[in-house]
Amino acid sequence: MSPAPTMTAAIAARTRQPGFARRLWRRPGAMFSIVVLGILGTGALLAPLIGQALGHDPEMVDLLARLEGPSWVHPLGTDELGRDTLVRLLHGGRVSLLVGLVGAVAAATIGTVIGLMAGYLGGRVDALFMRICDGVIALPMLPLLIVLAAIDLEKLGIPAGIATSEDASVYRIVALVALAGWTGVARLVRAGVLSLRERDFVVAAVSIGCGPWRIMLRHLLPNTLSPILVATTLSVGSVILVESVLSFLGLGIQPPMASWGSMLTNAQELVTTAPMVAVYPGLLIFVTVVACNLLGDALQEAVDPQQAGARR
């Protein structure tokens, strides 16, 4: 008679367990991050419309309005060339957030493919990929990115029209981040695949004749999406910092295109005379990185109910 009540109680306890969305929203950091990132993303998407409503172009120079304070015409003032600071920040957010998101997703995609192949195929494939991973991790990342960012694209055989285009700097940074930032995701995916490839559902898929790629994509990948999602979210903030550093050094986003890092570069000589020109982009970078990290931590707790329950 005792097994029935025990089983009923276990089923009832499982049904009462809060789902992923509820566990996520119970985290104050998650709510703060989602609201902040939602506001920043919405402002970036609506940047052209907001610029039109205010009557300002992000690249329009007005030397007679240099370094003006906040006003009805310029809500956050103007920069050293008389350009509206608010409109520049919104357009800069489009570039910085785009680079952060696309760069993180590209790096996670490369890392996922390598981790799946290394973990499931094993043997020489695993050894080769993991030695490459160790070599990339051992490299000093910032100096490496600075050297790669300074390479002339035309000397690599890229047509001059593409190499000198306004968007070339964006593509370059995304490519550099993807090529240098895949190692963490690759190691996470490999560890997950090593723990899954001997499970019954994988053995059953092999026994009915499923090929390696089908097993990796249909059976192993869905079961490793949680750490991939968390790692990708955490890396968005890191990519934004990399873009800001490269742009601050003059090797990232090139003028007249705006990004938060390039705005900091232009404002470094005005810190004493017009400090807010540097404070605004620096504050947005800080808030965005903190929000991405808090969201990543909240996702990590939400996808692991046992860890979440232990912390509560």
Average pLDDT over residues 273-296: 87
Say which residue, 168 or 51, is predicted with more confidence: 51
Query: Would residue 56 be called left, alpha or beta, if left means φ above 0 and alpha means ψ between -120 and 50 degrees?
Result: beta
Q: Which residue, 290, 291, 233, 240, is CA-closest to 92?
A: 240
Q: What is the pLDDT of residue 114?
A: 92
- pLDDT tops 50 at residue 108: yes
| Mean pLDDT score across all residues of the chain | 80
pLDDT beyond 70 at 3: no
**pTM exceeds cut of 0.75:** yes
Phi first, then psi, for residue 84 (nearest 5°) are: -65, 125
User: What value does the mean pLDDT take over residues 289-298?
Assistant: 84
Confidence of residue 113 (pLDDT cuts 50, 70, 90): very high
Instruction: Select, from the ranges 20-29, 99-108, 212-221, 227-236, the one with the highest average predicted confidence (pLDDT).
Output: 99-108
Q: What is the pLDDT of residues 230-284, one digit of tens each?
A: 888 888 888 888 888 887 777 777 777 888 888 888 777 777 788 888 888 889 9
- In this structure, are residues 61 and 258 in contact, taking their beta carbons and an 8 Å threshold? no
Q: Which residues have CB under 8 Å from 96's CB, separation 6+?
A: 240, 243, 244, 259, 260, 261, 285, 288
Q: What is 21-311's CATH topology?
A: MetI-like fold (1.10.3720)
- Residues 198-219 pLDDT 10s: 888 888 888 888 888 888 888 8
